[in-house]
Each structure stands twice: as C-alpha cells, then as structure tokens.
Chains A and B, each alone.
Chain A
Amino acid sequence: MKVVASMRGRSRLMLIAAMGVAALTASACSSNTSSPAASGTATHAPSGSATSGNITWWASPITTTSPDPRTVLISAFEKAYPNIHVNLQSAPTDTDTNRASLITTISGGATSPDVFMGDVIWPAQFGHSGLAQPLSSYFPSSYWNSFAPGLVQGATYKGQVYGAPFFEDQGFLYYRKDLLAKEHMAVPTTWPQLETEAAALVHKGVVKYGYVWQGASYEGLTCNFMEYLGSAGGTALNSGLTQATLNSPAGLEAANFMHSLITSGATPGAVTTFQEAQSMSAFATGQAAFLRNWDYGWSYSQTASSPSSVVGKVGVTPLPSFPGQASPGTSNIGGWNLYINPHSKNIAADVTFIKWMTSPAAQTILGTQFSEIPTVQSVRQSAAVKAKNPVLAIVGDTRLIPRPAQTPAYAKVSQAIYTNINSMLAGSASPSSALSAASSQINSAVGSSSGL
C-alpha cells in the first residue's frame, strides 16, 4: 500500500502538532500557578508548638540490621507527642535515585512527603531550586548552636539554613592491629608512613591488598580526594565559590600521593572500581590491611555475619596527615539532614518532628543504640555515646573538611573532580593534567548558569 501523502494525512499531523503546542502553552501558563502558596516567607510557625497532625517522613534505610532505627525513633516520637502520627515512606538506598525521586515529587508540587531525610550535599541545590523550605526562621539561634561545628554551615545556602543535621558520617582509618603487631609496625600517623607499611605488607604476601579506599568514578571519590586535599592544606573552591582552587601545590601533593599509592603497590589497581561496599568487603574478609571508610565500618567489621572474619582484629584511628601539615589528617563530612517540603501542609508539625529528632533524646538513641554519630555536640561528647564503640570515642579528635557543596552547581563540580581523579588512578592521566582538567571544568560549571 502506498503512502498516501494526502492533505488528510498532513492535516492530521498538523492537528497533532497543534494539540502539542496547545498542551505546552497551557502547561507553561499553569505551571507557575499550580501550587499552593508556599514560598520563602512562610507563615511564622512557632517552633515546635504544634501537637497534632499527620506527617509523612521520607527516609532511606539507615542500617540493615533490625530493629530499624527509623521505626524506633518514630515510636519514641509518637510517645512524646501522642497526637502527631508519623507515616514512614522508605526511600531508595542509592542516594542519587533517592534525589531523582524527590526532585520529581517536589517539583511536581506534591504535598507529601512532609519531611525528608536528605544528603548533606543537597542544601545548595535544593535551596536554589525551591525544593526545600528554609528553616532559619523556625528555630532560635540557640538551636543552631547546639550542633557540632561546621554542620549547620554546610546546610546553609545564601544565608538560609535548609536542613537540620540529623546524623553524621566521617572518614576514619581502620587497620588490622593483629597484622601490625605481627610485623612490628606502628599505627601510621602520616600518609607516607601508611603507604610504606601497606606496600611492605603486600610485598611480603601477608595480605592481598594493602590499603583500600573508594576510588570508583562516583561521589565517594570526591570525599576521599577532599580528605587528602584538606590534609595537604588545600581547598577546592575559593570562598566566593567562583573559582577552582584545587590546582595548587596542596592539590598536587594530594593527587601525587593518591597516584603513588597505586604505583607503589600499596593500593590495588582495582580500587578504581571500589565503592564503599567493595572496599569494606575486601577489608572485612581479611584481604586488606588498611581501610579508609565511614564510621559504619566499625560495626560492620565487628559483626561476623556481615560477613566479617576480622572480628576483634580491627583498630580505628583518625586519618593520617601529611608531614609538615596539621595533624590529624582531615575527615570528610558525610551524613544526612532533615528537610521540609515547601508544599507541606503541616509545617508546624514538621518543625515539631524535626526539633524532636535533633533533640538530645533522639540523638542519644541514634548514638547508643545504632552507633550513628550524633550531630548535637553535647550528645557527641557524652560519656554514654563515647563508650559505645571506638569510633564514637574518637569522633571529637578528628579534623573535618566539607565538600565544596555550597554552590548549586555542586553536582557538576563533584563530577569534574571524580571523573578526572578516577582517570588519573586508572593511569590515563597524570596528576597535574587531571587537576588542571578538573579545575577548568569546575570553573565552567560554577561560571555558567546551565550546561551539560
């Protein structure tokens, strides 16, 4: 049958095109008026005075063991506030999938979830696009001062705080104390010392891998890189967030060191595919002598069913430093904040919920029952929390460095860092060329308003 290129066919096509245009003009007009009035200057909700309502809390699983910390916290909260009912919505475990789902939901104007648990690197991005409610006006400054230093700063964008720090992650150095004792090696306090010891252990055949960390092409590599960069005394962005500063002597020291870890054999080449799961597993099954990982590494390695064959053989210490720089080395800040959906219909109840979740009562539960690092300073330093495990005991001894997430273009900044550093680790770029490429990509990311 021949294609009948008749007027009827063409006019049919035009009709469809016209419908499409009508649809898009209708949507363009309606998209700005489709939501309820929820803007930056929301009703001045008295902090935490709502005592009734229904809220939906969107949170990804925190641990894999039972009981579930989220349900424990919700029950405790509902006991304190019997007329507020909290409905838990479990979010995807992958943080990027989680974010995509939230962006779809909130930019689509949904009123639910009311409160969501989000990554610490989201405030600038979400605040810039109106996807999170500014929280500064709901809480007095004494509230914000109760948190450990640096956390509230990290949740601030253009003078407004968007997330209440909920619990924190930091990087630590885990080591096999039995192997170090056997080989008469001291616990390393500087990076070169670590490299030497790790390489020696590998060459002697004591372990398959010396020092494992997260070197895959993903956000975790940015965390690792920031730790070396901070230890060397460098920064990634200038204070005005307009210029990359990692192509500096400090940056070069950090990159060169990371590169040398692989060339010296201290770190396996496979580290370019390691995320937390792979590096943790390598250490917990006894194949690695040193591990850089978040605080969960302690409970993971001490639970035989993880699987772990190194129960009782692990020590933990703050990250090493570079010689001539401040000690200990810097630890990257990870963790999760609590945000409010700008379309939420129950902001007062949300504020109550957040206030309680960041109160000493809830934070103590998180610390003592679930070994998460509390964000409230007083709880962090309490004896009960410090006694829980060796990681919590040394939290106060670490030096922290955040990722350069204060700019809304952070996703692209991070991508510039981790793709180039990963190329360097894989051997396809030299440290200096990787840094200069990252630097120029960061500059174009923070400079332009949009791009690919």
Chain B
Amino acid sequence: MRNRSRHGWHRVVNGVNLAALLVFLFITLPLYWMIASAFKTPANVGASPPQYFPHPISTQNFSVAFSQNTFGRYIINSVVVAVVATVLVLLLGTLAGYAMGRLPMRGKFTVLVVLLMISVFPAIAVVVPLYALLRDIGWLNSYQALIIPYTAFYLPFAIWILRNYFMAIPHEMEESARIDGASPLRTIWSIILPQAWPGLFTAGIFTFTACWTEFLMALSFNVSNNYRTIPVGVALFGSQFTVPYGTLFAASVVAVVPIGILVFIFRRSVVSGLTAGAVKG
C-alpha cells in the first residue's frame, strides 16, 4: 500500500512510478522503432547500421502503401467486417451469456463445452470445407463471407466471457425487476448490462481485434481486391524476393491510428467502466 510517510521527491520516485516507467519503456521502444522506420526513406529502412532516428524524414512509404497498394480500401473493408462482426457477437453473446449464466438450463454445461471445442478448433482444417460451403451459397467475395464466419467462430469465446461476468451479478436486482413486471429483455438492458460493462468491453475488444487480425479465412474467401482486408493486403506488399518493411510499417501505423484515437477518446469511460464494478463493495 502507499506509504504515507514519504514526502517530497520520494512521492514521485516510488515503486509504482518506477514500475510504470519500465512498462512504458518495454511497450514503447519497439513501437517507436516501427513508427520511426515508417518515416525513413525506403533506402534507409535497410541501412546498416540502422538509423536510430529517420534522417531525412520521408513520407514516401505512406504514399507507396496507399497509392500503389490501394491500402485505403483494405482499411475500410477491415473496419466494416470487424465492427459488424463485433456488434453481432456482443448482441447474440449477451443474450446467450445471460441465459447460460443466470437461467436454469439443463445441459448447458455440455453446450458450453461444445462451444469451447468449436472455438478451439484450428482454423486451418476448417477453411477448405467452409470455402466450399460459401461457394455453394454464392457468398464468396463479399462482406458476409467474413462477417458470418467470424461471428460464428468468435461467439463461443464471447459467450464464455460474458457468462462469467453476468454470473457475478447478485440476483436480488433481477428479482425486484421481475416483481415489478419487467420483461427479460428489459431486465437485461437496464439492470444487467450496466453492471457487466467490463465484461462487454473485454468481449468487444477481443472480438474486434480477432476480426481485425484474422488472416487465413480472409485470404481464402475474399480474393477480390474490393473486399480484401488489411492482413491480406499486407501479404501483397513487395514481391517474391523483397519484404518492403517501410511500406508495411507505414500501413500498420495508419491502421493503428484509429484504434489509438478511439481508445483515447473513450479512455475515461473505459476507466470508469472498469472501476464501476468496484462501487458495489
């Protein structure tokens, strides 16, 4: 706990802040390396010894990524797929997680285990039959070709997370709502959800990141350039014998900026959401 007898500079230089500094360094140094390299000229990216700071600073990597490689299109596709899939997962997962966490359903543990097995099954083995299935339905090269499989494969995970958080909410509130005649959906919306906000957040960012970074299915189902997502787009950079690190990093920097902005904007609600659970001590 905080030792109240420290004052002066000891208050600043204590274990917590030192640890925070170390964490900060550990996280940022490779990040800095990526961002700095994105701003080097393509020639200097492969310079040996490496430049610690880009000199001259150049945006050539960015223009190559976006013009030559239509990277903007890939970002849009990734955003659409990830957002829709996350929303769907949270929607369906909340209902199912509530049911499995708080309602007396026989056999639900079996279902949960089967869900676990599904979420764990390596995507590699599943891609080919799923491809044939999508081809038969005629959904290849579309947004739904990715949204539906992502939702289906990431739902089990989300259900587990949400169920875990829902279970921790005391029953009394629900009972009083039921006495008052509230429908189950109403109960979920106004009473359960606000309490389980950290769970929703966790499930949401997990699903979003999983969709954002998924490669194998995106590579196989959406080959048309109009529907490619970022991970696949990145695999197209360069040529057979060259890895254009500069262009790759430039594209990644751009892909990361929206997430950084979002988290920054919502950081207060994220923090307060995570601390809301503490109020009920």
Asked whether any CB of chain B lies closer than 8 Å to the CB of A280, the reply is yes
Question: A93: which B residues are within 8 A, CB to CB?
Answer: 235-240
Contact assessment for B243 and A277 in the assembled complex, using a CB-CB cutoff below 8 Å: yes
Contact assessment for B43 and A306 in the assembled complex, using a CB-CB cutoff below 8 Å: yes
Contact assessment for A95 and B240 in the assembled complex, using a CB-CB cutoff below 8 Å: yes
Q: Mark A81-121, 1 if CB is under 8 A from B, else 0.
A: 00000000111111101001100110111100100000000
Given contacts A9-B110, A104-B128, A307-B47, contact A277 B225 (CB under 8 A): no
Asked whether any CB of chain A lies closer than 8 Å to the CB of B127, the reply is yes
Contact assessment for B135 and A90 in the assembled complex, using a CB-CB cutoff below 8 Å: no
Q: Which positions 26-71 of chain B face chain A at CB distance < 8 Å?
A: 42-48, 68
Cα A91 to Cα B235 in complex, Å, equals 9
Q: In this complex, what residue of B is CB-closest to A112?
A: B223
Given contacts A89-B223, A104-B220, contact A64 B239 (CB under 8 A): yes
Asked whether any CB of chain A lies closer than 8 Å to the CB of B3, the reply is no
Given contacts A277-B243, A287-B48, A305-B43, contact A61 B106 (CB under 8 A): no
Question: A108: which B residues are within 8 A, CB to CB?
Answer: 128, 131-132, 135
Asked whether any CB of chain A lies closer than 8 Å to the CB of B83, the reply is no
Question: A31: which B residues are within 8 A, CB to CB?
Answer: 132
Q: In this complex, what residue of B is CB-closest to A304?
A: B43
Contact assessment for B132 and A109 in the assembled complex, using a CB-CB cutoff below 8 Å: yes
Asked whether any CB of chain A lies closer than 8 Å to the CB of B72, the reply is no
Q: Mark A347-391, 1 if CB is under 8 A from B, else 0.
A: 000000000000000000000000000000000000000000000
Question: A104: which B residues are within 8 A, CB to CB?
Answer: 127-128, 131, 220
Question: A89: which B residues are within 8 A, CB to CB?
Answer: 223-225
Asked whether any CB of chain A lies closer than 8 Å to the CB of B244, the reply is yes
Asked whether any CB of chain A lies closer than 8 Å to the CB of B120, the reply is no
Cα A322 to Cα B220 in complex, Å, equals 46
Given contacts A107-B128, A281-B46, A287-B48, contact A13 B114 (CB under 8 A): yes
Q: Which of B42, B43, B68 lies at the interface centre, i.e. has the most chain A CB atoms within 10 A of its CB?
A: B43
Question: B136: which A residues are within 8 A, CB to CB?
Answer: 34
Cα A94 to Cα B239 in complex, Å, equals 8
Cα A34 to Cα B223 in complex, Å, equals 21
Cα A3 to Cα B127 in complex, Å, equals 34
Total chain A interface residues with beta-carbon distance under 8 A: 51
Contact assessment for B131 and A3 in the assembled complex, using a CB-CB cutoff below 8 Å: no
Question: A144: which B residues are within 8 A, CB to CB?
Answer: none
Which of A4, A92, A305 contacts B235 (CB under 8 A)?
A: A92
Q: Mark B233-251, 1 if CB is under 8 A from A, else 0.
A: 0011111111110000000
Contact assessment for A92 and B239 in the assembled complex, using a CB-CB cutoff below 8 Å: no
Given contacts A34-B132, A61-B239, A89-B224, contact A4 B140 (CB under 8 A): no
Give chain B nearest CB distance to A162 CB in angstroms.
Answer: 20
Cα A276 to Cα B240 in complex, Å, equals 9
Give chain A nearest CB distance to B183 CB in angstroms.
Answer: 24
Q: Which of A4, A63, A108 lies at the interface centre, i.e. has the most chain B CB atoms within 10 A of its CB?
A: A108
Contact assessment for B241 and A97 in the assembled complex, using a CB-CB cutoff below 8 Å: no
Question: A8: which B residues are within 8 A, CB to CB?
Answer: 106-107
Cα A113 to Cα B219 in complex, Å, equals 14
Contact assessment for A101 and B42 in the assembled complex, using a CB-CB cutoff below 8 Å: no
Asked whether any CB of chain B lies closer than 8 Å to the CB of A27, the reply is yes
Q: Mark B95-116, 1 if CB is under 8 A from A, else 0.
A: 0000000001011011100100
Cα A101 to Cα B124 in complex, Å, equals 12
Which of B44, B110, B236, B242 contacts A13 (CB under 8 A)?
A: B110
Cα A12 to Cα B105 in complex, Å, equals 12
Which of B48, B68, B107 contacts A9 (CB under 8 A)?
A: B107
Q: List chain B positions with a Cβ less than 8 A from chain A.
A: 42-48, 68, 104, 106-107, 109-111, 114, 127-129, 131-132, 135-136, 140, 219-220, 223-225, 232, 235-244
- Give me 9 A-to-B residue pairs in the complex whose CB atoms sit less than 8 angstroms apart, sorted by A's number: A6-B106, A9-B110, A12-B110, A16-B114, A63-B239, A93-B238, A93-B239, A300-B242, A306-B43
Given contacts A64-B238, A110-B135, 16 further A-B contacts (CB under 8 A): A12-B111, A13-B110, A60-B240, A61-B239, A89-B223, A92-B235, A93-B238, A94-B240, A100-B219, A108-B132, A113-B223, A275-B241, A277-B243, A285-B46, A294-B241, A307-B42
Q: List chain A positions with a Cβ less than 8 A from chain B.
A: 1, 3-4, 6, 8-10, 12-13, 16, 27, 31, 34, 58, 60-64, 66, 89-95, 97, 100-101, 104-105, 107-110, 113, 275-277, 280-281, 285, 287, 294, 296, 300, 304-307
Top 9 A-B pairs, shortest CB-CB distance: A307-B43, A9-B107, A276-B241, A108-B131, A92-B235, A104-B220, A108-B132, A9-B110, A61-B239
